[in-house]
Every structure is written in structure tokens, then in C-alpha cells.
Structure 1
Amino acid sequence: MPKGASGSNAAPVIIKRKKVVAGGGHHGGAWKVAYADFVTAMMAFFMLMWLLNATTEKQRKGLADYFAPTISISRVSGGGSGTMQGESVFAQDALPQNGTGATSFMPESRISRDDVSQDAGQDAEMDATLADIERVFLERVVESANGNALMAHLATRVTDEGLVLTLSDLPDAPLFTGLAEPTATVETLLTLMGELAGLADNDLAIAAHVRRVPIVVAKDPVWDETEGRVRVAREILISSGLSTRRVQRVVAHADSKADVTAPTHARNNRLEIIFLR
């Protein structure tokens, strides 16, 4: 066909344009939710570890009781006398009494009476034991060579702590000379006590006191005196047969506890040997 003719056999050119999308596209947000749950769980875990370390066993028990599934009549409930210092309506003081001083739920008074009765029996038995020790000791002192002179230094009493045997100075007859040199009087009395201790199982405590120095001195000797005298008393008791394991306490009181009104009186120089309950 001649050039310029209206018809042509050439194939048309088709141009395709591909649209390019920047980025990787939308993948969803499920991972964010999972990460948030993980962080929350870790925070709760570390808070639990901190609470376990920062609370006592009693507080943890209270927390456990608080969150435990209980019914309203449970004795241990969230509002009970526990961690938050609250008072439960089921407490002993709040429940109605059944005429015996206790309640049907918690008969504490019955248990208390049994405990008191048992303790009273044990106290009575110990009082009898201490009375026997006191009687035997006084008999041995009286029967000794200078019984009357020794008795003038001696005083006995039974207290809540035990049997207290007190050895005191007399104005003209001291128990120690110098700082802590024992006289024959205190050696005899302590030897009798050491022998007496073999007849009982009670442990012993030893205490020393001295009177206040009547004049002002550069160095107050009262502490050195009581320390030396209580040590000497312990050595004499042990040499008389007392086991070292039975000496539970050795105390030097200096002049802090006067036995008589006048702090400089000779009777404030004293030893106390206690047969403990």
C-alpha cells in the first residue's frame, strides 16, 4: 500500500504501567497484644516475688486467707482479725457465751483452765523442791562448826525466779577482804551450797553486790570488786562439786542495787546464789 494511505498493517504498541507500592504492607497488630500480655505477666511475677520477700509468714497467711474462697460463716474471712487489724464477728469476744465463760465454737476457757491447773501443779511441785533445798541447807549450816556465826550472814527467800540464798557482810565480819579475797566464812557457806547442789537438778545463777564507796575516789572500785567476787564464788562452787554446765548466769551488779536503805551499809556487800526454777 502506498505511503500515507489510510490503512496500515503495523501492529499497535501497547504500554503497560505497573503500580509499585512502597513498604511491606499491613501485617496486623496481634504481636503487640501478645507483647503487652507478656510484659504484664512479668510485672505481676516480679511484684509477687517482692511481696514474698517483703512480708512475714503471718502477713502471708493473712493474705492467703483473704483471697481464699470462703463462705460467709467461715471462721477465717476477709474481715476477720488479721492482717488489716480488723475484728471478725466470729471472734471470741463477739460470739455469744454459753454460760461457762466460753463459746460453743471456741471453748478457750476450758483449755485455759486445764493449762492453768497443770501449771499450778508444776509450780507447787517446784515450790516443794525449793523448800526442801532450803531446809536441808539451813540444817547443814546450823550443824557446822560455827553454825550460829554463819547463820548471821545468811538470808533465804523463795521468789518467782527460784530460791535465793543471800550471803551478806556484817559490820565486824566481812565475807571478802581487799578486792576479792574470800574469808573462811564465805568459803564454808559456798562449799555447803556446792555440796547441796548435788542433791538437786536446778541450775544456778550467781550475783555479786557491793556497797557504795563513802568517799570520792579517782577510780570507783565497785565494778572490779563485784566482778572479782562473783568469779571467786563460781570457782568455789565448782570446786565443791557443782557442774560448770549448771551455772546459767554470773552477774556483777556493783553498787546499783542496795539491799538496805543506807547505800554505804555493810550488808550491801553480798552474794546471791539462786537455785533457779
Structure 2
Amino acid sequence: MAIETNKQPIVVKKVFKGGGHHGGAWKIAFADFATAMMAFFMLLWLMGSTTKEQKAAISEYFNNPSAFEGMSTAPSQSTGEGTGSSPSIISFDGAIDMAPEAPQTAALDQERIDELAQEQDQARLESLQTALEDALDKSQALAPFKDQLLIDITLEGLRIQIVDKENRSMFDLGSAQLKDYTHDILKELGAIINQVPNRISLTGHTDARPLERAGFSNWELSTERANAARRALIAGGMREDKVGRVVGLSSTVPFDKTDPDNPINRRISIIVMNKKTDEAVQEETTTVEELTKPK
């Protein structure tokens, strides 16, 4: 039998899948990288185009969203009920976060930055007002003098006025010496005010009755009383650098305009200044320094 010799050889091919080409995964990674770099350079551009004041406002917003400086609003961190036995006489139970929501866009312009700063400033002052009013009811030192503490919000900020009442003066007659209970009131207020970053303005007022001391008028007396109040606030724990202005106005701005001799005209006014007022005070101080520099 003849054997055929012209058959084609059998070739076996082995196919290996998945080798060589890696698909489009690298494109996704590269796109993520490009997006991140674009965001990074946009951030650098924004930081380079903002002023020092704008950066400070943004930093303040993100570093201190709780309205109170350095204080926790968690009830678990409260150690007292406002009786003077705890570092703070304010109870933050049920407190709400007064800070505005963070903006969704990174492109914060000057107008939006100023708006955020004003909103936070106003919320902080309103929160402080509520805390002070609560303290008048809860604090053993403040509650008896509730009728002598007048609290309201003005164009300059949160105003706290401590007024004289008949037979219950804050100072010795014609003197800048604080009564013991007045000193206690101011110490309590100092501890509360220190919980917000705002600076304060202190003003002393007198009635229109002339003093009998030669060379010493109500101008000197109102100024010395304002400084005495400043020292008592600091003794209560308020930082010295929170004082932005101390002035004495004598009897020029009476509380009772119909009766200049009314004891209520003798008062100490503490204004927790809002941002706009504080900037005006700093600008005024800078102007005075420039004018008084030797040429």
C-alpha cells in the first residue's frame, strides 16, 4: 500500500488573551490628575489675588464656625450652671450653630466675603446677647442687679450699660472707686465677653451735677471710672488686648435727656464692637498715630 506524503502539517496556535494592551484605565487616571492640577492652580490663583484682610476673614470663618472663640458648645463640656463655679457662666445647652453654611464655589469675591463676615459677626453678637440675658437669671452675682443692666444691639455692636439707681450707686460718690458688687458684676461680664473674639469699647458717663473738687471735673471722673471698669473686666478674665477704646464723655450724652441730674445718667457703657465699628476705631487710631509722628 502506498503512503501519502503530500499532507499539510498541522500547526497549533496558542492565543494568550490580555497581553500587551492595557485598555483605557490610564486615561481615567490622567484625567483625574489633570483635574486635580487645574484645581490646585486655581487655588493658587485665588490665594494670590485676595488681600490680607480677605484671607483673614476666610481663615476666621473656617477656623471658628461656632460663633464663640475657643469654646465648645457641647453640653458635655459644661461644668456648671452659671453660678460662678465654672469657667463660663453661660450654659450652651440646646445651642445652635450660628455660622453660615460654607459656600459651594471656590470663587469667593470681596462682596461675598464681606457678607459672610457680617453674617457671622451679627450671629455672634446675637448669641452673646442671649447668653448675657440668660446669665442675668442664673448667675448669683448678676441676678440681683438685673434692673441695672441694660442690653441691646446698636449700629456699633452689642451694648451693655450698667446704670446707677437711687441708693445703689456703682461708685463711691464723686470717686472712681468701684463698689464691691459693681466689681463682681464687671468680673462676671469680663468672663462672658472673653468668649467672643470681638474687641470692646468702654465709655464712662456722669450726671450733670458739678463736682466740688478743684481742678477735677466730670470729664476726669467719667474717664477714670471707665478705666476702673476696664481693670475689673480684665480681673474677671477678659484679655487686655480686647480693649479697643476707653473714653469719658462726662454728662454730654445723658440717658435721661429730660433730667440731666437723674442718677441713671451715671453709667458705664460697654460695647462689644462689630467688625465695621472696630475697623473704624483702628483707622482712627492709625490716623492719630500718623498725625502725631515727629516730622
Smaller-chain TM-score bracket = 0.5 to 0.7
SS of 1:255's equivalent in the other structure is coil
1:160 has 2:155 as partner: yes
Match of 1:201 in 2: 197
Q: 1:127 aligns with which of 119, 122, 126?
A: 122
Match of 1:271 in 2: 268
1:144 has 2:114 as partner: no
- Unmatched runs of 5 consecutive residues or more in structure 1: 1-113
Q: Take 1:131 and 1:216, find their aligned partners in 2: how far apart are those partners?
A: 42
- Unmatched runs of 5 consecutive residues or more in structure 2: 1-108, 275-295
Match of 1:50 in 2: none
* Residue identity in the other structure for 1:168: V
* Residue identity in the other structure for 2:271: I
Q: Which residues in structure 2 correspond to 1:107-126 (within 5 Å)?
A: 118-126=113-121
Deviations 1:161-215 (A, max 9, x none): 1111000001121111131111133212211111012211111111100000169
Alignment RMSD: 2.2
Q: Which residues in structure 2 correspond to 1:1-277 (within 5 Å)?
A: 118-145=113-140, 147-178=142-173, 179-213=175-209, 221-261=217-257, 262-277=259-274
* Residue identity in the other structure for 1:274: I
Q: Take 2:188 and 2:162, find their aligned partners in 1: how far apart are those partners?
A: 12
Distance 1:264 1:214, change over 3 A: farther
Does structure 1 retain, via aligned residues, the 8 Å contact 2:141–2:184? no
Match of 1:102 in 2: none
Deviations 1:191-240 (A, max 9, x none): 11110122111111111000001699865631221122111111111111
* Residue identity in the other structure for 1:268: N
* Residue identity in the other structure for 1:127: Q
Does structure 1 retain, via aligned residues, the 8 Å contact 2:149–2:162? yes
Does structure 2 retain, via aligned residues, the 8 Å contact 1:165–1:273? yes
Does structure 2 retain, via aligned residues, the 8 Å contact 1:157–1:165? yes
Q: Take 1:187 and 1:237, find their aligned partners in 2: how far apart are those partners?
A: 8
Distance 1:217 1:245, change over 3 A: closer
* Residue identity in the other structure for 1:199: Q
SS of 2:182's equivalent in the other structure is helix
Q: Take 1:119 and 1:244, find their aligned partners in 2: how far apart are those partners?
A: 27
Question: Which one has the largest radius of gyration?
Answer: 1
The 10-residue stretch of structure 1 (208-217 or 182-191) with the greater mean CA deviation from structure 2: 208-217
Q: Take 2:153 and 2:124, find their aligned partners in 1: how far apart are those partners?
A: 11
SS of 2:192's equivalent in the other structure is helix
TM-score (norm 2): 0.51
* Residue identity in the other structure for 1:184: D
Q: Take 2:200 and 2:236, find their aligned partners in 1: how far apart are those partners?
A: 14
Q: Take 1:159 and 1:271, find their aligned partners in 2: how far apart are those partners?
A: 16
